Amino acid sequence: MNKKARVIAYYLPQYHPIPENDKYWGKGFTEWTNVGKAKPLFKGHYQPRVPADLGYYDLRNGWVREQQAELAKSAGIEGFCYWHYWFGNGKELLEQPFNEVVDSGSPDFPFCLGWANHDWATNTWTANGNRKEIIAKMDYPGEKDYILHFDKYLKAFKDKRYIKVDNKLLFVIYAPMDMPDFEKFKEKWNELALKNGLNGFHFVGMTTGWTKNYQKVLEMGLDAITPSNLWYAETKVNGYFKKMLTHKLRQLCPWLSPLNKYKYKDIIKFLFNDYDRMECSYPSIVPNWDRSPRSGRNAVIYTGSTPELFKKHVIEALEIVKNKKPEHRILFLRSWNEWGEGNYMEPDLKFGHKYLDTLKEIIG
């Protein structure tokens, strides 16, 4: 393995109806519901965003997953990191697409899992961020649940498609600092892996906020981190006090506060820092960000993203990782299909395949 980078794309499975979403949002709700009804909030605001090649797809259809894999593979993406939602005591959400990928053996495209270990709440999917009802509560019942969780995904862990780092199973944790006993979790899962003929796990913690959190996550015993530097970059662009003031105004009176928007060309100047250069740190690349389909005026919005600026951003990322061991030249692509957050690589009506073609040109 001697690639410029191992690009692994986060993959959102919320493109099929589930009873929990039907209950809170109405029959047939999926991520497309908010994407399709989004409206521009200022002159030149690119909304709504309309998918091109794949249309408003349903992930229960195997042919959609096949075409996604083909598009990703052709762009040089190594595999998908499927977000999975395990809330404890066997409670899951949105598990159907990934289960079908494992059970069917199709598409023949590498994958790993990312554990979205957070409450499933209404304010994630509505423009009224102050309305918060818990749909599914994140719980950590202890060792029996760790075993149950592991056993549920053992078939996936044994799959030849599962992505490995240093011959260990790559497993991303969204909010590692929320876990009350990560060390016990790590010990138990590695023990179970060895009993099942696997070499253990390579645990990667997503880190957000200030860089002091990055060090805390490493000290918890994670094998690596993947810094999410969006907050850091926004603060560098706006300044700390303006950023915090805008944040507070949006909480108190969102209808009066200014839109929280940034120029993409300014954001990408600060999307990497010294932590990204560490051998045990895997930077993220971000094609765009616009959460207004979900959050309305409360959203963070990046404006002016283009394939040319994305190219500049990815080239800088390659410089960051070029001196690492080939196994560790990992770039997490955020994301493959987060249409409700405006960070996606799938073709849309405005840019077509240009972002994919740009990645292909650079990664090879």
DSSP type of residue 259: P
Torsions phi, psi for 115 (to 5 deg): -90, 110
Q: Is residue 1 part of a domain?
A: no
In this predicted structure, what is the pLDDT of residue 114? 98
Q: Is 88 left (phi over 0), alpha (psi -120 to 50) or beta?
A: left
In this predicted structure, what is the pLDDT of residue 2? 59
Cβ atoms 62, 318 nearer than 8 A? no
Least confident range of 79-83, 165-169, 291-295, 345-349 = 291-295
Q: Is residue 337 part of a domain?
A: yes
Q: Is residue 350 part of a domain?
A: yes
Residue type at 269 in one-letter notation? K
Please give the Cα distance from 72 to 360 (Å, whole number): 9
Q: How many domains does the chain have?
A: 1
Q: Is residue 234 part of a domain?
A: yes
Per-residue pLDDT at 209 exceeds 80: no
In this predicted structure, what is the pLDDT of residue 127? 54
> Residue 25 burial by CB count (10 A; 0-12/13-18/19+): exposed, middle or buried?
middle
> Of all helices (H) and strands (E), which one includes residue 226?
strand 224-227
The alpha carbon torsion through 318, 324, 329, 331 (nearest 10 deg) reads: -60
10-30: per-residue pLDDT in tens?
Answer: 999 999 999 999 999 999 999
Closest CA to 301 of 273, 251, 267: 267
> Residue 315 burial by CB count (10 A; 0-12/13-18/19+): exposed, middle or buried?
exposed
pTM of the model: 0.95
In this predicted structure, what is the pLDDT of residue 231? 82
Closest CA to 175 of 142, 205, 141: 205
Q: Residue 3 to residues 6, 227, 323, 328: CA-CA distances in angstroms?
A: 7, 21, 12, 10
312-364: per-residue pLDDT in tens?
Answer: 999 999 999 999 999 999 999 999 999 999 999 999 999 999 999 999 999 97
Average pLDDT taken over every residue of the chain: 93
Higher pLDDT pick, 229 / 45: 45
User: Which residues partner with 169 through β-bridges?
Assistant: 164, 201
Give the mean pLDDT of 240-248: 64
Domain that holds residue 349: 6-363
Closest CA to 291 of 56, 118, 38: 38
Q: Is residue 78 part of a domain?
A: yes
Please give the Cα distance from 341 to 299 (Å, whole number): 9
Q: Is residue 223 part of a domain?
A: yes
Give the mean pLDDT of 103-113: 98
Q: Is residue 291 part of a domain?
A: yes
Cβ atoms 41, 292 nearer than 8 A? yes
Question: Which of the four pLDDT bands, split at 50, 70 and 90, describes residue 246?
Answer: low
Coil, strand or helix at 288: coil
The CATH number of residue 85's host domain is 3.20.20.80
Please give the Cα distance from 5 to 208 (Å, whole number): 22
Give the mean pLDDT of 269-281: 95
Instruction: Using the Cα atoms of residue 122, residue 68, residue 284 and residue 316 in order, give the sign of their dihedral.
Output: negative
Per-residue pLDDT at 123 exceeds 80: no
In this predicted structure, what is the pLDDT of residue 58? 98
Q: Residue 293 to residues 47, 283, 335: CA-CA distances in angstroms?
A: 8, 26, 16
Give the mean pLDDT of 289-310: 95
Give the mean pLDDT of 26-41: 96
Cβ atoms 361, 311 nearer than 8 A? yes
Question: Which of the four pLDDT bands, split at 50, 70 and 90, describes residue 1?
Answer: low
What would the 3-class secondary structure string for 31-71 be? HHHHHHHCCCCCCCCCCCCCECCCCCCCCCCHHHHHHHHHH
Coil, strand or helix at 334: coil
